Structure 1
């Protein structure tokens, strides 16, 4: 069986470059695959993910020399967005037992509670600074496991749900709690709450699904300025990924490239006593299992 590898896009002097990371070194994906033109985005890999992933597996198994000869030290990589133009970005809210307990929520959701984040302005790569929005006093962090869809899914059952997942990636669902705390009379303004520029840090690595034995058994850890804020496990989810995919695919056809963020555990700033919020100069670091460390400076 192919040993663990991770895919990413890094910044180089010649522009973005898709790479495979294996054993701490990175090799250009097009070199591994015997292609001439560099690949600059992981998104096109999902058009025929079963075939493409098998090609990458075979290349990794046979391509140890590529990592030695053309390899880049992963520790020195400057990451870019792994998916430049993903499909829908769907987020599940209130989905961890420990998060429900820390927040003033009167009940557990009866089904996976979802909202959509725009991708054209919110996505930011690991290492990218995210601007603290003007007028926002309650900017918060939310470490989340995100699944990337690899094959179309419509009305799928839980038994088949994970077969539609290409892989997993870190996601930080940055939030402006101001419009939750004020409880507007008509309801929460989800755009003002979730859709500010840069409010969807993602990355650095995309890990193929076969390397994640159980998405409901992954450690979730987030720090702010080195202090641990979130330290939990995806086992705390109220609705696991199978149930989430079943639910969402009953509403819409999930397409390759769609991203599903699965909710955050306890330890968000708004749930702490006293509450804590982000400010310019802070640095967030989050890591879930083997997905790498997603770094987000607040500027």
Structure 2
């Protein structure tokens, strides 16, 4: 029973969207009809009791054969937001595909995952949203990534147990300002300039619960710019698996419900091609079983 969850603004109000059998459903209205004792505020809040919520949704969907018109949403009325709005942490993994390291002109020397943070409140953008190019750079790049949403608190997690801490998976485009690479000096790359411009983390539109993705290392991942394929790879090519990334990060910091981890990008980024985004471009990220994320460059 596959279903997915997202966040949208409907008539000015933040809503949790349930996607099931090709229907978009207002979860709040569905609950009001079938189980009014349950109240839903946000998908971020739901991650704090993820097992409870996924069990409840599964039970409801098994017993509900039809939905009333007030619960159903047309795609045209859905204003998508990032599925997890304002997580406590948005952590990104760099240099996690061997072919991407090679195209960046580097040698593989890392022995643990290489990570950095993005400011979630200003970088996250929803499906079909516009992202304005910064005025300070002409070298803005794309990076298709599998993103992991954490579903419970964890510290010093062993990789054998790591996937039990995952709420679900979604899509993320880790936009990057490559002028920070070109202009790096003896102190190294300025990662704030490189990664933290407003809108530099389009995400979504939907979170697929982990129960439906038995192996996150078995997913096709692709990115197109203006319908031209730029990245076409597979998550099996990661250097560090999702489980190994969670083990490493949780050795440093406590992972919390709703935290988002972007797991790195494969070969085909613009920097290796000397190609960069321009106003009017449309970027499409696709990940097998998870869906499609579209971003319009302004």
Partners of 2:254 and 2:191 in 1: CA distance:
23
Structure 1 window deviating more from structure 2 (234-243 vs 100-109): it is: 100-109
Give the deviation of 1:41 after TM superposition.
2.5
Q: Which secondary structure does the structure 2 equivalent of 1:147 belong to?
A: strand
Partners of 2:109 and 2:267 in 1: CA distance:
15
Match of 1:285 in 2: 284
Residues 75, 167 of structure 1: CA spacing in aligned structure 2 closer, same or farther, 3 A cutoff?
Answer: farther
Residues 266, 56 of structure 1: CA spacing in aligned structure 2 closer, same or farther, 3 A cutoff?
Answer: same
- Which runs of no fewer than 5 residues in structure 2 stay unpaired? none
Is 1:29–1:38's contact at 8 Å kept on the other side of the alignment? no
2:23 to 12, 22, 25: 25
Output one character per residue of 1:127-148: Cα deviation in whole Å (capped at 9) or x when no partner. Answer: 1100000111110000000101
Let me know the Cα RMSD of the aligned residues: 1.7
Residues 227, 127 of structure 1: CA spacing in aligned structure 2 closer, same or farther, 3 A cutoff?
Answer: same
- Which runs of no fewer than 5 residues in structure 1 stay unpaired? none
Give the deviation of 1:72 after TM superposition.
2.3
How does the TM-score come out when normalised to structure 2?
0.94
Match of 2:4 in 1: 6
Partners of 1:142 and 1:240 in 2: CA distance:
18
How does the TM-score come out when normalised to structure 1?
0.94
Match of 2:89 in 1: 88
Is 2:92–2:117's contact at 8 Å kept on the other side of the alignment? yes
Give the deviation of 1:68 after TM superposition.
6.7
Is 1:27–1:67's contact at 8 Å kept on the other side of the alignment? no
Residues 64, 181 of structure 1: CA spacing in aligned structure 2 closer, same or farther, 3 A cutoff?
Answer: farther
Q: Which secondary structure does the structure 1 equivalent of 2:283 belong to?
A: strand
Residues 67, 202 of structure 1: CA spacing in aligned structure 2 closer, same or farther, 3 A cutoff?
Answer: farther
Is 2:124–2:200's contact at 8 Å kept on the other side of the alignment? yes
- Paired residues, number: 295
